[in-house]
Structure 1
């Protein structure tokens, strides 16, 4: 009896069925390094603001791989040469693009490792997987790093209009319920083309690009830079900082083996061995949440209160201003906090702090989004657009915040 090959499918709420086109890709998805993404929140602690935002990095990775399949098919239809090896490399590169994220994604980017961003850790994971899969990720790594000869392949993976951004805006909009972020990713992909080795958008797609950039700006102000999400993430950063201080003082603090390793050791870029990568791969949101549940009962006032604030959403007051916070206001809040909790001002700084947030929807200093006018002329989208707001979107808007304890707790 003849046997038939079974299609590997995932049912996605955004795109419907997502097909896994090869056994090699399915084996990568099945690997423990990738399965860990099921336990890492796509939007950090944003679910404290948007209750539906519980989707994971796993969802997002499959979504952008699906969009990359569409982009490859479209570009081939337009007679852009993409070999089978290059197509496979593109799908692997976009699938593993964010595999290096730590717990709660961007919220803890530099809290557990010192000065190492998730892109670098993603590369380390890809190199490790390349050894395990007999060198089959070599092209994907070159595309990911931007060293592959065809520049447009890297632009599909990492640029100001890549498959990563096309998925996360649409997906995050869906799960948060913020309709302003919903973009037409299929329309944008349909408008893609390649000229002189560079990715471009055909002229009739300019309005879709404008909507994409405006949607990105809205999502940053309304969702990613929401003041409640900011204060929650800052509390998480500070509770880990305090836990690290306690561990350095040999104060007993509970946690998983993987979490305690990174709390008790300073791991820098040059220290990231294969053994440490394996320890990092054991970390996810569950390690942090289970630690917070234990730490809320710790004898240390700072670590217990910070943990309780996050777990029970009893967060600090946060004020956002257009100008830097006056030093006298910061000093006043520090004094009041120290008096309220019977702390030193240094200890009070865990509960009183300032920072900045920035929003740039389109960065003209980075790799541009180029519009193809007619069949020959290429021009930057900010110059091609007749939308006055698009030039404004190219400017970085900076705001300043201060966080401090609420004077009365309801």
Structure 2
């Protein structure tokens, strides 16, 4: 393993100075796999709605590491044993937890590869880096996969109140300017504790937890599931689908070598090997944007129109309602596009489509957020809260949308 004494600091707009704690973390950050995250948008195409949302997965990963450092300090102060090896494992696990994201983050997760989650790809990157760094990530992999004997270590990385969520809510709120998402991450971390191996929040932090859950709900409706961001993401997915169809038909499309590989090969979890990982590591937002800029001049009407919509932000109209769209209204819009541009049903479906949006701020069926009461009892926050009805936040809210051209394609 290469070593370095350049234990630098990053100046982060959210937390101020973030210190790199040791040479291993420094070398992981310096690795090309991690540097790629500078070219992966944290919020996909949300900048089409919120112009400031240009921050990257690189920003987010460093922020998560900073919060993990704070959490370790707090828990050790309260007598929770975290060894030096476990500390390094935690920092590496949270630093690399999103390294498997593809271009524009979630938008591409099931377009470039089929049924392969970013968590799975992150783990493949970790195994590859573990070999490169002489087994230094073995502890981190154990924590990331939930196989470590200390359950709370995994909960710090992946749970309903983990460092990932604490950072992205605060960070996305900052860069979008949506103040409702701003949470007091440091206050929540100060309230952390461990009881019988599980992560808990001390009772005096209950109002901070309530605000965190409400902020999560607001951010999903106002930002992550914003109707304009939804239609842009759907268009991006459709572009990749159309490009793949045209290539299979024998058409020639210019793209980067890495993108061409994923358009011409059907990659799923069964054939995602080391060669695929190396190709995936070469993909980032630039590949997709360059392709869109090129393809907007394609001879194919569907592909050219879809690309131009994103490049020039002339998106489809989207209607979001509490009830599913009537089939008659859907067919009316579909036939209108078909007749206007002499398209087949399949081609018209790229411009007229519908779907669902689901929002659940608190998943009580997964891992509950447990409150350590003053009498020593552990209680689910939804049962203990008297300020807000958190039971309502644990129910899935579903909305329905339909997209279609505003006037002409």
Give your verdict on TM over 0.5.
yes
Residue 251 of structure 1: aligned partner: 251
Residue 212 of structure 2: aligned partner: 212
Q: Is 1:167 matched with 2:137?
A: no
> Structure 2 CA distance, aligned partners of 1:362 and 1:114?
28
Residue 404 of structure 1: aligned partner: 404
Q: Deviations over 1:263-288 (max 9, x none)?
A: 00000101011111000000000000
Residue 101 of structure 1: aligned partner: 101
Residue 52 of structure 1: aligned partner: 52
CA deviation after TM superposition for structure 1 residue 388, in Å:
3.5
CA deviation after TM superposition for structure 1 residue 408, in Å:
5.2
> Structure 2 CA distance, aligned partners of 1:258 and 1:218?
37
> Structure 1 CA distance, aligned partners of 2:151 and 2:404?
47
Residue 33 of structure 1: aligned partner: 33
> Structure 2 CA distance, aligned partners of 1:63 and 1:257?
32
CA deviation after TM superposition for structure 1 residue 376, in Å:
1.7
> Structure 1 CA distance, aligned partners of 2:388 and 2:282?
48
Q: Deviations over 1:5-30 (max 9, x none)?
A: 55410010000010000000010000
Residue 277 of structure 2: aligned partner: 277
Q: Deviations over 1:132-155 (max 9, x none)?
A: 000010010010000000000000
Residue 311 of structure 1: aligned partner: 311
CA deviation after TM superposition for structure 1 residue 359, in Å:
0.6
TM-score, with length taken from structure 2: 0.98
SS of corresponding position for 1:269:
coil
Residue 236 of structure 2: aligned partner: 236
CA deviation after TM superposition for structure 1 residue 201, in Å:
0.1
Q: Deviations over 1:143-186 (max 9, x none)?
A: 00000000000000000000000000000000000000000000
Residue 135 of structure 1: aligned partner: 135
Please give the residue correspondences for 1:3-402 in structure 2 after superposition, counting only pairs within 5 Å. 6-402=6-402
CA deviation after TM superposition for structure 1 residue 340, in Å:
1.7
Q: Which has the larger displacement, 105-114 or 336-345?
A: 336-345
Gapped regions of structure 2 (runs ≥ 5): none
CA deviation after TM superposition for structure 1 residue 324, in Å:
1.1
CA deviation after TM superposition for structure 1 residue 57, in Å:
0.2
Q: Deviations over 1:233-263 (max 9, x none)?
A: 0000001000000111120011000000000
Q: Which has the larger displacement, 279-288 or 266-275?
A: 266-275
CA deviation after TM superposition for structure 1 residue 342, in Å:
1.6
CA deviation after TM superposition for structure 1 residue 328, in Å:
1.2
SS of corresponding position for 1:174:
helix
Instruction: Tell me which stretches of 4 or more aligned residues in structure 1 moved more than 3 Å.
Output: 4-7
> Structure 1 CA distance, aligned partners of 2:380 and 2:289?
45
> Structure 2 CA distance, aligned partners of 1:368 and 1:254?
48
CA deviation after TM superposition for structure 1 residue 375, in Å:
4.9
> Structure 1 CA distance, aligned partners of 2:191 and 2:358?
30
Give the number of aligned pairs.
406
Q: Which has the larger displacement, 44-53 or 339-348?
A: 339-348
> Structure 1 CA distance, aligned partners of 2:250 and 2:82?
56
RMSD: 1.0
> Structure 1 CA distance, aligned partners of 2:268 and 2:186?
41
> Structure 2 CA distance, aligned partners of 1:356 and 1:178?
24
